[in-house]
Structure 1
Amino acid sequence: MSTVQSRPIIGAGVNRVDGACKVTGAAPYPMDFDAPGQAYAALVQSTIAAGRIVRIDTDAAEASPGVITVLTHTNAPRLRRAPVSKLGASPPPPLQDDRVLHYGQHIAVVVAETQEQATAAARLVSAEYERADPLLDLMDPRAPQIDDPWGMDHSRGEAAAALATADVTVEATYTTADNTNNPLGPFATLASWDGDRLTVHDTTQWPFVVRSTLAAVFKVPESSVRVLAPYVGGGFGAGLRVWPHVVLTAAAARVLQRPVKLVLTRPQMFTSVGHRPKSVQRITVGATRAGDLVGMDHRSVSPVAMEDDDYEPVASGTAFAYTCPNVFTQDRQARLNIPNPTSMRAPAEAQGNFALESALDELSYRLGMDPLDLRLRNYAELHPVHALPWSSNALRECYEVGAQRFGWSRRNPAPRSMRDGDRLVGYGMAGVSYPWFAMDCHAEATLHRDGSALVRSAATDIGTGTYTVMTQLAAECLGLRLGQVRFDLGDSDMPVAPQAGGSGLTAALGNAVFDACARLVRRFVELAAGDRGSPLYGAAPESVEVTHGRIHPIGQPHLGEAYTDVLGRHELVELTANGYSRPRSRDELGMALSGAFAAKFVEVHVDADLGLVRIARIVSVIDGGRILNEKTARSQIVGGTVGGIGMALFEDTVTDVPSGRIANGTLSDYLVPVNADVPDMDVVFVGDPDRASPIGTKGIGEVGLVGVAAAVANAVHHATGKRIRSLPITLDALL
């Protein structure tokens, strides 16, 4: 039968199958949906960071034109918190008591006949507070501490003793700022009840977690909740949780027994759908004079909201990044009066890699050793924690190919030694070892009498190209042209799929689609093999393949018959098969499961007088296993790299102290890279298909961002001689 195992490492770079509907405006995003008779909701948010509501006055709002109702903690339905998912729990349901835990917390929702009426009335709601002193400082000793809730702290060997006797050590503190996800499309929810059946259009990266959460919160069966998200305008991790505004919209719709629609404003996006939490990291690395790592100690502190359990194990990646016999990692959280943090592209690894790869760069200078040579010398041939061979690992090739394409050998190692006119020139690099992650997934494949196929799964496409690569994969597995296959997603009534996040969807969904298509072909072969009227009578499934919609003996396309012939002879309109994938354990495989690997090389130019940093070029070499579509994969790496540039040079969600207000909560105040900040990028894919995955893929959605900030900071040091240990790198740090 058709198989993907014989495919080359780089798949065809076809155009997106959903591209035309997106560029013509035909793609319906969550905020584009409407329902007959719908009302519109607007949020009222707290103007303090800690305390309680003494009185909330809704009289003027309720008397405002078009207003239907105003829900506050005094009259909102009593709701229960949803159970924990595999990525943690969603935030507690809103409007359940008078407490205020962060600035911008939802304290009321106004529902009116039009959006304009709801927005105007929301401004008329007033609240009186009993204020408390908010905890806003990550290092405040009063902040309640949380120790490693997921059991990811790591210790092997004797790190403290090894570092005490190391020939050369680097000990430093690195900090990263709060960043806000800021997808271009504001998050939106449209909720409709029909008795106890709830239909929700939502901006989500995980329809099934929305379904299970809303079912638990409103005490209805999961089968009574349908979540639709055929197109999502970006998320970067913000769509992985069920936020309070989603629950509020559904609650208002249930109270009113009519559809309700809510669209967040841009400032509300800064307080309502998460952000990448800041970090303070203390790291010590030690080595022999020859450059062999002997010990690493990496400890982080990051914030979490007062009643949330989002977890960012910032230091955990250090445990498996390099060969080192003595390693200690520890992650702690401090509870603060802040909006709930959440995953943001490359969560935890983005912050932790910055500290680790910066510290290794510092170590290379202490040793008088090329930074690339230091990493090559400590490349992990086996998984450092499990002492098993990797299911795939081309990090060494990433380094070597990247260095050659970048021209690393032209680098003068001395800081401030390279110039281009008045600009200081710096070369920097970083290695990336991204953790493996996958979940169970289901898919369904159907072949119709007209020879077309429909493949379905309840995943989402947040712009990563899922529609396209799954259409490609299904077409190849079924032996059909691309135009004969339609892939549908974004509906919780479809087969169960995991989230679009954690670089885990492509492998999980791809393997499920592969399995569904293989089972579908097998069903056709079994029908034909048992039919004396078929030229495939008696054929074994392993003896045939499918090309151009025809099942035939391997290598003999002129024999056999078409799918449509089999359906017609058996008087069938269609034939369907269900597929399933589950992640295999290292015990089953006898090898360590590998995420993506990468090497990043950056050239920066720094104005010697003004401290202005410009990135001249970036080379990213990626081991992502089998790449299903080179064009969409390259776009993933380019997009992630732009995010890395933002993290390195621009992005900083500023909290005003002591009010707790986000001071730059608009796109005019929150800096992100624009075209002028983004250089031409060289993206290269290397490596072999991953042996842990039937289709050989590894996710690459996150790895494009990781390592960019460290490579930029290391290049800035090479250019200027100044070691910057805090992100973002701003002008004042270089003057």
Structure 2
Amino acid sequence: MTAVTGSQLVGDPVDRVDGPLKVRGAAPYPSDVRYPGMAYAALVQSTIAAGTISSIDTAEAEAAPGVLAVLTHENIPDLAEAPLTALGSPPRFPLQDDRIVHHGQHVALVVAGTSGQAAAAARLIRIGYQETPAILDIADPDAPVVTNPWGLESERGDVAAGLASADVVCDETFTIAAETNNPLGLFATVARWDGDRLVVHDSTQWPMMERRTLADVFGIPEDDVRVLVPYLGGAFGAGLRTWPHTILTALAARIVNRPVKLVLTRPQMFTSVGHRPETVQRVRLGATREGRLVALDHEGTSTIGTEEANLEPITMGTPSLYACPNVATHDRQVRLNIPNPGPMRAPGTAQGNFAIESALDELSYAVGVDPIELRLRNHAEVQPGSGLPWSSNALRECYLVGADRFGWAERSAEPRSMRDGTELVGYGMAGAAYHWYQTPCRVRISIGRDGTAHVRSAATDLGTGTYTVTTQLAAELLGLDVGRVRVEIGDSDLPPAPQSGGSGLMISLGNAVHDAAATMLQAFIDAVAGDEASPLRGRRPNEVAVHEGRIHLVADPSAGETYAEILARHGLDEITVDGEVQPQPPAGMAPAGAFAAHFVEVRVDEDLGLLRIARVVSAVDGGRILNEKTARSQITGATVMGIGMAMLEETVFDPSGRIANATFGDYLIPVNADVPTLDAVFVGEPDKSTPIGIKGLGEVGIVGVPAAIANAVHHATGRRIRSLPITMDRLL
């Protein structure tokens, strides 16, 4: 399609188009939905981690004021199993039998006329348990182990021979505590039935997956399920599965024949919508005396629920990170009596990067090579596995631009050599990469007589700016001002779109918009094909351009007419077209995800064991940047999450399997005082694998930040930290 002439919209730091609605409190989140006659639900959760329910007495709850129904495993109707998704099997539906597999498992649901009545009645249910020993430790020899889950282990070359021939070998173990996503917005579900049609408002990042899941569970056609989520109060991956509370809410609405709302409490958010699993990793690096890698062996172990599946390969990205002839990766999962983990920003990759980039930092000291120079010597100029050139790769530029912007040259290489008064000062860095992916996506665009465009797709905006960048992209491709484009998303009745997660939505959605815009231009040219009054008659798309709502000849910009003029003259109210993307691997090249280099300055007071982040600089290769303001927001927000992962966040299970810190008063997350000056700069060029040249940015901002912090701590103190979070006791 011919590019827009005049002012460029893509790349401009346009304010969020949904911003005014949000600051007025007018954006409809799932928890805001109200229906006449709506009932409210409250969950009852198990107080043991393993065993069975020996008795359950609901009589007092059923007699409580306002109670409409009490659902338990003793009276719930049979439901079909939920389907497998690309991210694993849905969580085990808990009310199908009397078994308990984790503390906090849903064991009953109370429905009443008000939320207070439902919560009060839920406290009246008396449950007896037959408890059995729970398995809670990742190192427990009795824990079942899943080896090579999903068949993603890999091997290139001969790692054993490479390690044997290496001049220097680093062999270390790294551990990371479990974390919980904790978006600000509590997850909520509102369900109602219109006859056999189910309408659900839910905190989901994937309306199409949820529609399919609910249709299968209730045995109805997918077209009879509508999932709505125009706005989502954050999720960070927690909304990528259909959780049991959503199914229970829909079931309750059918049973009481009224709309039902369920809002999770903050403690229930810790047990009901996943968490980043605990991990243990062993990394073995072999290198020459000059620091060139000859072997890399990466083993990752993570936790999972006793009967569920969660796709979280810790080592999947390792083979593509560096130019190394001998690489092997191994993943395994340990089954525990814990709530099932789920995706959390950069799942798997955030953990795997911490181990690899920390090990590389250790190697740099072992061979006496600057950490940046070590990475440059091992930079993968082509995709290591296939030998194909990258569709784009500005990681070298990330290192060099980031180092210059940070002032890396001022760093004294010796640990404990930099001070500011009583504080030790440390500089650390880490490289980062996040994989590329694109999935099928469809978009529908209409242009009406008023000259405005309406863009529709079942995508979601979980706060990343999807409304805004889609508006900008469509406006540029259609030659319209952003104010004349309306984007409608978050509705499964719209053309199907993939999940908002994994840094892949805009690659798919944006390219579908590109396809629809080209189809729209062709549709208008076709409309005037036999129109002798039109200066566009008989023209081909490459002969015209679009600007300010007007199609004109490239050779003579004065010759053209507006969308509105064409529609009016031909008696059309609007023209509507569909666009889609069906991903095909680019010929002769390896699709590249985003790359980054993060640089961190820390201050450490050894007397107090106090660690403070002084500043962070991130240099990012995100391909073509659709909106510099929202892109920078994604990087800085993810960096804050990286600070939390490195310094503060730890989901603590006590010996009974209960999460001991399931409140914001006890679970530590970064606050303003923990967040320093964050600087992000974008480098590189549009990616060649797609027409619009973009990459995803949601994940790469967190990948590498924990390793950069830990590496800076080593430079400041001489202490090598291989376990996250870096707590005060490790620095005293």
Give secondary structure in 1 for the equivalent of 2:94.
coil
Give secondary structure in 2 for the equivalent of 1:107.
strand
Whole-angstrom distance in 2 between the partners of 1:685 and 1:303: 35
Whole-angstrom distance in 1 between the partners of 2:660 and 2:582: 44
Matched, 1:302 2:302: yes
Alignment of 1:57-456 (within 5 A): 57-456=57-456
Whole-angstrom distance in 1 between the partners of 2:583 and 2:600: 35
Pick which of 645-654 and 77-86 moved more.
Answer: 77-86
Query: Which one of the candidate residues 598, 601, 613 is aligned to 2:599?
Result: 601
Q: Which residue of 1 aligns with 2:13?
A: 13
Give secondary structure in 2 for the equivalent of 1:294.
strand
Q: Which residue of 2 aligns with 1:649?
A: 647
Deviation at 1:435? 1.1
Whole-angstrom distance in 2 between the partners of 1:47 and 1:556: 75
Whole-angstrom distance in 1 between the partners of 2:553 and 2:237: 46
Whole-angstrom distance in 1 between the partners of 2:539 and 2:252: 60
Whole-angstrom distance in 2 between the partners of 1:124 and 1:555: 78
Give secondary structure in 1 for the equivalent of 2:620.
strand
Q: Which residue of 1 aligns with 2:619?
A: 621
Partners of 1:187 and 1:203 within 8 A in 2? yes
Partners of 1:9 and 1:625 within 8 A in 2? no
Matched, 1:686 2:667: no
Whole-angstrom distance in 1 between the partners of 2:367 and 2:474: 52
Partners of 1:314 and 1:351 within 8 A in 2? yes
Deviation at 1:2? 3.7
Q: 1:708 to 1:541 in 2, by over 3 A?
A: same
Q: Which residue of 2 aligns with 1:45?
A: 45
Partners of 1:177 and 1:277 within 8 A in 2? yes
Partners of 1:205 and 1:240 within 8 A in 2? yes
Query: In the alignment, residue 675 of structure 1 is paired with which amino acid?
Result: N
TM-score, scaled relative to structure 1? 0.98
Partners of 1:176 and 1:728 within 8 A in 2? yes
Deviation at 1:473? 0.5
Whole-angstrom distance in 1 between the partners of 2:405 and 2:26: 41
Whole-angstrom distance in 1 between the partners of 2:10 and 2:225: 40
Query: In the alignment, residue 109 of structure 2 is paired with which amino acid?
Result: V
Query: In the alignment, residue 310 of structure 1 is paired with which amino acid?
Result: N
Q: Which residue of 1 aligns with 2:513?
A: 513
Matched, 1:530 2:527: no
Give secondary structure in 2 for the equivalent of 1:475.
helix
Whole-angstrom distance in 1 between the partners of 2:193 and 2:5: 46
Q: 1:271 to 1:349 in 2, by over 3 A?
A: same
Whole-angstrom distance in 1 between the partners of 2:86 and 2:508: 15
Partners of 2:5 and 2:546 within 8 A in 1? no
| CA deviations over 1:502-553 (Å, ceiling 9, x no partner) | 0000110000111111111110011123211212111112100111111111
Whole-angstrom distance in 1 between the partners of 2:422 and 2:307: 52
Whole-angstrom distance in 1 between the partners of 2:606 and 2:388: 48
Whole-angstrom distance in 2 between the partners of 1:81 and 1:461: 29
Query: In the alignment, residue 590 of structure 1 is paired with which amino acid?
Result: G
Partners of 2:53 and 2:130 within 8 A in 1? yes
Query: Which one of the candidate residues 657, 660, 663 is aligned to 1:663?
Result: 660
Q: 1:6 to 1:170 in 2, by over 3 A?
A: farther
Whole-angstrom distance in 2 between the partners of 1:643 and 1:609: 27
Whole-angstrom distance in 2 between the partners of 1:625 and 1:405: 20
Q: Which residue of 2 aligns with 1:612?
A: 610
Matched, 1:723 2:717: no
Matched, 1:709 2:697: no
Query: In the alignment, residue 636 of structure 2 is paired with which amino acid?
Result: V
Partners of 1:4 and 1:695 within 8 A in 2? no
TM-score, scaled relative to structure 2? 0.99
Whole-angstrom distance in 1 between the partners of 2:4 and 2:643: 35
Partners of 2:514 and 2:692 within 8 A in 1? yes
Matched, 1:631 2:633: no
Deviation at 1:191? 0.4
Give secondary structure in 2 for the equivalent of 1:199.
strand
Whole-angstrom distance in 1 between the partners of 2:115 and 2:470: 38
Which segments of structure 1 move beyond 6 Å, counting only runs of 4 or more?
A: 4-10
Pick which of 549-558 and 711-720 moved more.
Answer: 549-558
Identity of aligned residues (%): 63
Q: Which residue of 2 aligns with 1:540?
A: 540
Deviation at 1:581? 0.9
Deviation at 1:35? 1.3
Q: Which residue of 2 aligns with 1:592?
A: 590
| CA deviations over 1:658-700 (Å, ceiling 9, x no partner) | x000000001100000001101111000111111111000000
Pick which of 604-613 and 702-711 moved more.
Answer: 604-613
Q: 1:477 to 1:9 in 2, by over 3 A?
A: closer
| CA deviations over 1:410-460 (Å, ceiling 9, x no partner) | 110000000011000000000012111221100000000111110010000
Q: 1:6 to 1:485 in 2, by over 3 A?
A: closer
Whole-angstrom distance in 1 between the partners of 2:389 and 2:633: 30
Query: In the alignment, residue 34 of structure 2 is paired with which amino acid?
Result: D
Q: 1:8 to 1:147 in 2, by over 3 A?
A: farther
Deviation at 1:244? 0.3
Query: In the alignment, residue 16 of structure 2 is paired with which amino acid?
Result: R
Whole-angstrom distance in 2 between the partners of 1:490 and 1:637: 24
Give secondary structure in 1 for the equivalent of 2:149.
coil
Pick which of 536-545 and 268-277 moved more.
Answer: 536-545
Partners of 1:305 and 1:341 within 8 A in 2? yes
| CA deviations over 1:110-164 (Å, ceiling 9, x no partner) | 0000000000110111211111101101111211111223221110111112112
